[in-house]
Amino acid sequence: MTEIQDADTSLTEAGQAGQAQSSVSTVHRLRSVLAIRPFRRLWFVTYLCSVGDWLSLLALTGLVSEMMNSYRWQSFALSLVVLTQLLPGILFAPIGGVLADKFDRRKVMVVCDVLRGSLFISIALIGSPIWLFVANFLVGCCAMLWIPAKESAVPNLLRRPDQVESANQLGLVMTYGISTISGFGLYSLIAGIPGYLNMQGGDLEFTIATIAVIINGLLYFTSAILIATRLPELSGRATAKKKEVDADKPGFVAMLRDGLRFAAKTPLVRGLVIGMIGAFAAAGVVIATAKLYAQSLLGGASTFGLLFVAVFLGLAIGMATAPKLARRLAYNRLFGVTIVLAGITLAMVALAPHLWIALLTVMLVGACAGVAFLTGLTIVGSQVEDEMRGRTVALIQSLLKVVLFGASAGAPLLVALLQKRTISVFNHPMEVDATRPVMLGGAVIAIMLGLVAYRQMDDRREERVLSSLFAAIRGRRTTKGLLIAVEGDTWEDTSVQARRLAAALRAEGIDVLLAADPEHDERRLRAVLSSAELAGVRAQALVAAAVRADVVERQVRPALDEGAVVVMERYVDSPLAHFSATSSLDHQELEGLVDWATGRLRPDLTVLLDRPSADRKAVGIGHDHWRVQKLLSEMAAADPDRYVVVEAEGDADAIAERVRATVVPLLATRKRPVPEAAAPSL
């Protein structure tokens, strides 16, 4: 329950409250996802496996170095370990996608973890460098089967599609943040055992590396046990008729062919794949040329380290800001735009003359990449059907490996061919490092493929992308006006309070359009469906969507474009909660219908009237209304920076005063222009 703000709150205090509310929003979103027990357990499993992945990188490298006496082979230890882990992604990722879509995902993950644990134990027991590389290759194959099964199962564990983004944020933080520190810290702890115990001996380092490998295997065994015993939800699918669907699934080769055909023929997935190729190509170029680029800035190892710190800091910033940008710019547009911006900033990196400029632009590249990566994962989790999700994830994983491998190998060759050149600028000789034109080439590739991805995925081409992007960065809509929705579990509350709020805002000198609940506009209902009261639940949902589409297109959008404040009762949240609570309609289908009807127009502010349970019983409100209110409360908790919850206890005058005292100070922070002509009421 939010505290009612005083009507005389200053503009500065309101702005500070908005910033605090934004941070609370992020915390609420993440906590609401972690409150889901199956996801929380899978998050811990991800931690165990990610720690194992990072620990294996160091443990196997140390073991190879001890197994091989040749200095030349020891210098290639890390590269060989990475290469044998990279090759399976090129060869077997599509197979993992088919397995994730065809078989029980929980069983696939358990088998893969058992195999990975067994292979690591075998490396320690056999002690052969050849078997080490073979086993590491097989571990990589298991990972390529495990990852699509896990990623495609995550959306089915969540309560709402809008939680996919938060789940991806938590997964990336765990994989590349917490588990990275834990894995490297665990290896340092194991490697420091001789120092703690004052131990000495020629085979001591070999023994320590072997212990690290065995511990790595035990981590995967633990993961397998947890998945098998504590996560039965991973076996669930998004369809209620799973057995019938599984029985009708085609063979392995046919599913692989269907997955490739789906990616080629679906504009959304096709654009996603094209954009990912551009992003990974640019990333591969940066990784391959970073060392020589640091030297071109007259720096050494410290400069090289600072560049990587800047990239990862930018990635973290991008992943943190992606949800806010996505509220103002649709995911399908945001993905392509950020890849284009990544290419532009990469070109700025190539032209940077000084270290600090390079660090700033590299951070911008990382931020754009972070937004694009998180947005791409969210699109796959929320917009790709469950039966195709595994193959889509696998295709992206395969492209990541192939493109990174090709770019990382091709960029050094280009640098070697171009070498340093001396050019004359205004009769002054200037030495140009070969990394600069190679980076420019990577930037051009990213920009071109980002534009292609944007055109493939953009479903709102009538809007200018630059104006939408700038509005997203500013945190405001492209429209001049504001949309305020009044939601609640009863029509009586929302109808009265919407009218009183509109009157209060007009008294403040604000131009207001009052849009009544479209469902109760009998003239529109009769025009769309003459027997609305006798229609089935699907027909009623279509009617509700149709009349809202009419109101939004003819009344709301024109008023917003003219700068008016629109107050609308029961805009989309109340009907969505009503149909979800009182019918068997799929929540995702309803949300898709709402998005289509409103053109994804969402309120800038939603006032949720929260009637206490005792008051609800006193006025004779039944169980269905309680369920509707519960769903509305969950929506508000998941997105608190768009909602204000007002206690609907007492008479209409008292409630109206609370609503006015809450909304008016918030509108003061918007600084909207007031048009000369007043908008009519519906």
**What is the CATH classification number for the domain harbouring 118?**
1.20.1250.20
Within a domain: 641: yes
pLDDT tens readout for residues 385-435: 877 888 888 888 777 777 877 777 788 788 878 777 766 656 665 567 788
Amino acid 443: pLDDT: 92
Joined together, the tokens standing for residue 623 give 């169980």
Q: What is the pLDDT of residue 4?
A: 29
- Within a domain: residue 29? no
Based on the domain organization, do 145 and 193 belong to the same domain?
yes
Burial of 180 (0-12, 13-18, 19+ CB in 10 A): middle
CA distance 456 to 460: 11
**514: three-class secondary structure by DSSP:** strand
Q: pLDDT value at position 680?
A: 35
From the first residue on, what is the mean pLDDT of each consecutive set of 10 residues in the chain (682 residues)? 33 36 57 87 94 86 71 57 73 76 90 95 88 90 89 84 80 82 84 61 70 92 95 73 48 73 84 87 78 79 77 83 74 86 91 87 88 86 80 80 76 79 62 83 91 78 53 52 81 82 85 69 51 61 81 84 84 81 72 78 84 53 67 72 79 85 74 39 36
Residue finishing a domain among 478, 507, 525:
478
- 249, 276, 305 — which closes off a domain? 249
The range of the structural domain enclosing residue 631 comes to 11-21+480-668
Give me the pLDDT at residue 476, please: 45
How far, in Å, are 41, 44, 60, 231 from residue 52 at the CA level? 17, 12, 11, 20
CB 148 within 8 A of CB 140: no
Q: Tokens at residue 410, please? A: 């091709």
Cα angle value 592/96/91 (rounded, 5°): 125
Examine the domain organization and report whether 384 and 503 are in the same domain: no
| 264 and 234 inside one domain | no
Instruction: Kindly state the helix (H) or strand (E) to which residue 624 belongs, with its residue range.
Output: helix 623-638
| 336 and 280 within one domain | yes
pLDDT score for 90: 66
User: Which tens digit of pLDDT belongs to each residue from 5-64?
Assistant: 333 333 233 333 333 334 445 676 788 788 889 999 999 999 999 999 888 887 887 787
User: What's the confidence (pLDDT) of residue 231?
Assistant: 93
Q: Quick one: which of 430, 434, 429 has its CA closest to 293?
A: 434
Question: Which amino acid, one-letter code, is at 140?
Answer: G
Nearest CA to 600 out of 420, 490, 458 is that of 458
296 and 159 assigned to the same domain:
no
pTM flag (> 0.85): no
Confidence (pLDDT) at 298: 78
Q: Which residues contact 96 (CB under 8 A, 6 or more apart)?
A: 144, 145, 146, 147, 148, 149, 390, 394, 397
Report the alpha-carbon distance of residue 155 to residue 151 in Å, rounded.
8
Specify whether 146 is located in the same domain as 242.
yes
Which residue reads 């945190």 in tokens? 475
Looking at the structure of the chain, the number of domains it has is: 3
